[in-house]
Amino acid sequence: MSTCRTQRSLFRRLLRLPLRLVPGFVRMPVLSGPLRGKHWIVGSSIHDAWLGTYEADKQALFARTVTPGSVVFDVGAHAGFYTLLASTLAGPAGRVFAFEPMPGNIAHIREHLRLNGIENVTVIEKAVADAAGVATFTARGSNFQGHLLPGGELQVEIISLDDLVEQGKLPLPDFIKMDIEGAEVRALAGARKLLTKRHPTLFLGTHAMSDLGCNTHEPCCQLLRELGYRLVPIGTDTLETTDEILAVYGP
């Protein structure tokens, strides 16, 4: 069985070799999935994004869960894949807020919004944490894996979701997608009030942070359970081994 899996993996890699010939600046229609037909910049992310197969389990669950007219926070928006998906699902009556501190990713998000004529998204060029201020951020050589890190090469403004809601700058969310490479505990701590008041459904990525020597999975789970959330793994892993969680309020 192991040999068969290895052979299938090698076959898939061989099939993808021609994708390397596609220039990064090319705009392609997404070929499958809920975003099929939307325009996407090839070099803004991995090829799975415009192929439509990116995070297939999470993407399908997101599409089944987010409802028209919703307010959605995309925390750690990267190049805007889930921002576009949330915009499509929430529809004209909905609102999407995309949080992203990396300049290259921000440029891609804004271009994706322009290419697709999207008007229900607000881009917030800041990192989300537990308090307002300034912090350093590292890209770790990839626009996928940037995260807050003491001594990082990029200085960014940080905010808390609770502060923005209390200041009237954001509405209470119905759904939050959060994937910020290990800063999830700080971001959830800075959203405790809105989580308690509104009980939004969360699509949460949890990560081991090798740079800081800590793992955020258990602290995230503990915080959400304390607030009354039920936690379900996304995909085929168990809750103990997954790094993708659906958190729904209630028993």
- The pLDDT tens digits of the residues spanning 109-149 come to 999 999 999 999 999 999 999 888 877 766 665 455 555 55
For range 64-80, the mean pLDDT: 96
> How many Cβ atoms are within 10 Å of 4's Cβ, its own excluded?
8
The answer on pLDDT for 158 being more than 80 is: yes
The answer on pLDDT for 73 being more than 90 is: yes
More confident: 143 or 231: 231
The gap between the terminal CA atoms of the chain, to the nearest Å, is: 39
Give the residue from 149, 97, 143 showing the smallest Cα distance to 118: 97
Lowest mean pLDDT among 42-46, 158-162, 178-182, 232-236: 178-182
For range 218-246, the mean pLDDT: 93
Whole-structure pTM value: 0.86
pLDDT band with cut points at 50, 70 and 90 for residue 40: very high
pLDDT at 181: 74
% the chain with pLDDT above 70:
80
pLDDT at 212: 47
| Residue pair 81/35 in contact by the 8 Å Cβ criterion | yes
The answer on pLDDT for 31 being more than 70 is: yes
pLDDT at 1: 43
% the chain with pLDDT above 90:
62
> Which secondary structure element, helix H or strand E, spans residue 185, and what is its range?
helix 184-189
Exposure string (b/e) for 103-114, b if CB count within 10 Å is 16 or more? eebbebbebbbe
Q: Selecting from 3.40.50.150, 2.80.10.50, 3.40.50.620, 3.40.50.300, what CATH number does the domain 27-249 have?
A: 3.40.50.150
> Which secondary structure element, helix H or strand E, spans residue 157, and what is its range?
strand 154-159
pLDDT digits (tens, 9 = 90+) for 2-23: 455 554 455 455 456 566 666 6
pLDDT at 11: 43
pLDDT at 156: 80
Q: Tokens 């990029």 sit at which residue?
A: 154
The answer on pLDDT for 78 being more than 50 is: yes
The answer on pLDDT for 182 being more than 80 is: no
pLDDT at 26: 86
For the chain, the average pLDDT equals: 86
> Which secondary structure element, helix H or strand E, spans residue 123, and what is its range?
strand 121-124
Enumerate the domain spans of the chain.
Answer: 27-249
More confident: 43 or 208: 43
